[in-house]
Structure 1
């Protein structure tokens, strides 16, 4: 898969951020980008929920619950006391097509690309094949650990970065996303990120 378009897009966003935050110019920004990526990986795992073995609710969060009916699909009429189909979500229990898990995944992608730019490692093309390994817990743990090690690594850092990128793409497949879905969600979120910079987010 080709990645150069994603790096180009990320470079524009990073430049926009630097324009709004002069204090970041000319300094090493790897430390906070690494921490941000680890946090985003944790948030992605939280939306996946599969590690929450103590809970009976371990389904991935791929849709938002309706705030009117709390995902039930119906609401009680306060005066009459009977239940009716929720008018906000039409009884689906879901408010929109927003996919929290995919959004957290592409938030991670933003930081992976930004770290590559920070290190001057642009991977133009990568050949990663989906495989049957479905240990998503191990995939998350390996990525979070690998990113942390990358922060302090002095040798073979480019290979480590490529391994993180490949592992992250594998994680996307394990979560059930095609690369086309990931790219589309990335560009949509990138637009939001630019808008946030415009309003002083």
Structure 2
């Protein structure tokens, strides 16, 4: 995965959001940390492995087949005019199908905040090394704790938070491996969702 490319794309999205919402000069790190923790919870909910009370502990990896194509957009959910995105199909929520991969979608939502937090504290890296705990449960718990560590160290200064962010990102990449998500899937889904997020800002989301 080309992290420089993703950082650059995330920087453009962050700048777009700040401009559209009038957030210039505001420190948003605490809100981004909380948003990441919320998204991690949504990701865990789709992973389901921790739900000891349920017989259904299979992750939500619904992939489309030829019978699942959305009738409204015929599988072309992003509407483009003159090379610009002008909208998305509301019938399938912009995915082109009625069944998609919720696990991957939630993972990529987390990735947007991971990158955005890294940009806020001035991280510039090319690659990340997966860090694995003994179980997916431990991985999620450690990720949430590491979110707190980034915010705590950030209060002392950006330089203190950088090493904590690197561990956060290493844990996140390790989680992707644990969940069986490939780099190719992640990058493709990120590129798609990034376009959707830009379009949403233009449409007053």
TM over 0.5: yes
Partner residue in 2 for 1:12:
12
- Whole-Å Cα distance in 2 between the matches of residues 113 and 97 of structure 1? 27
1:136 aligns with 2:124: no
Partner residue in 1 for 2:21:
21
Count of aligned pairs: 169
Q: TM-score, structure 1 length as denominator? A: 0.78
1:33 aligns with 2:35: no
Partner residue in 1 for 2:161:
157
How far is 1:13 from its partner?
A: 0.5
- Whole-Å Cα distance in 2 between the matches of residues 48 and 122 of structure 1? 30
How far is 1:10 from its partner?
A: 0.3
Contact 1:134–1:174 (Cα < 8 Å) also in 2? no
Partner residue in 2 for 1:196:
200
Q: Write out per-residue CA displacement over residues 84-128 of structure 1, whole angstroms, 9 at most, x where no aligned residue.
A: xxxxxxxxxxx63511010000000000000011111122223x2
1:180 to 163, 172, 184: 184
Contact 1:130–1:173 (Cα < 8 Å) also in 2? no
- Whole-Å Cα distance in 2 between the matches of residues 150 and 107 of structure 1? 19
Alignment CA distance shift 1:130-1:120 (3 Å) = closer
1:170 aligns with 2:169: no
Aligned-residue RMSD, C-alpha: 1.9
- Whole-Å Cα distance in 2 between the matches of residues 47 and 150 of structure 1? 25
